[in-house]
Amino acid sequence: MSMSRIVYVNGEYLPETDAKISVFDRGFLMADAVYEVTSIIDGKILAFDGHTERLERSLSELDMKAPCSIDELLDIHRELIKRNNLTEGLVYLQVTRGIADRDFAYPDVEPSLVLFTQAKNVVNSPIAKTGMKVISIPDIRWGRRDIKTVQLLAPSMGKMAAKAAGCDDAWLVEDGFVTEGTSNNAYIVTAEGTIVTRNLGTEILAGITRAAVLRYASEAQIKIEERPFTIEEAQAAKEAFVTSATTFVGPVIEIDGAQIGDGKVGDIARRLREIYLEESLKTAI
């Protein structure tokens, strides 16, 4: 934690030690909250429109009120980036249903809004050069993974299991097929050079990075198949990679101890990472 950080809480910009939320906030009591994470490069926000569109969808699926307009959200992002002198890293945004006495039924209250920054080298991350090792574990999450809620204990347990196995992350498996990574979407590249990634549905989060990367891949004449795949198919694939707002395109070089391709960062993953960075910087605001 950087103690000098300025955090946004319900209309105020406060030193992080003074930034507080009620114990009766439903985000705290019931994980009744949704979030978004955007990357910041050169002080600019990547894929802002995509992330705010998904935020609006998450809110609407949970009948949660929007805390403010999208224009106001953009102003808050920019103010926070400025006040924290953030050139590279991320902005975390969370909306909770609000503060009310504990009850399972939704209360009719005003939502809480919290945003904070995290400085981080997102562009030159070591994982982009070395690739990541993943394990597979059962997907024990709830059935509405298309809503970006803050119920993150299952993915946290997954990360810990990966760490204990000497790996970087875990891919989640349900009914024999990979759903996604703990905090990213999962892909393989077949021997023919086709990108395979799970089709959208309630089983996975519709990644904003996923949408962009699939668009750039298709523009680069790379074939795409949106369908479930197994760990066995992934282990036999030419390449594997993940995407997320903060990882961009993260190459995967090992799955459950099996080397992928030649065990080095794949050409398609490397190329897509370059294209993604170049293109999303053009639309960064």
In the complex with ligand PDD, the residue whose CB is nearer, 231 or 245, is: 245
Q: Which residue is it, tokens 């909770």?
A: 96
Residues in the chain: 285
**HEC letters along 36-75:** EEEEEECCEECCHHHHHHHHHHHHHHCCCCCCCCHHHHHH
Minimal distance, residue 208 CB to ligand PDD, in Å: 4
Residue 238 is a catalytic residue: no
CA separation, residue 23 to residues 20, 28, 61, 168 (Å):
9, 7, 25, 33
Site stretch for ligand PDD (CB under 6 A), options 62-70, 72-80, 120-128, 202-210: 202-210
Contact call for residue 209 and ligand PDD (CB under 6 A)? yes
Among 117, 149, 243, 280, binds ligand PDD (CB under 6 A): 243
Contact call for residue 77 and ligand PDD (CB under 6 A)? no
DSSP character string of 91-138: EEEEEE--B-SS-SSPP--PPEEEEEEEE---TT-HHHHH-EEEEEEE
Cβ atoms 158, 137 nearer than 8 A? yes
Contact call for residue 37 and ligand PDD (CB under 6 A)? yes
Minimal distance, residue 183 CB to ligand PDD, in Å: 4
The site map against ligand PDD for 154-193 (x = CB under 6 A) is --------------------------x--xxx--------
Q: Catalytic site residues? A: 148
Report the interface residues with ligand PDD, using CB under 6 A: 37, 180, 183-185, 205, 207-210, 243-246
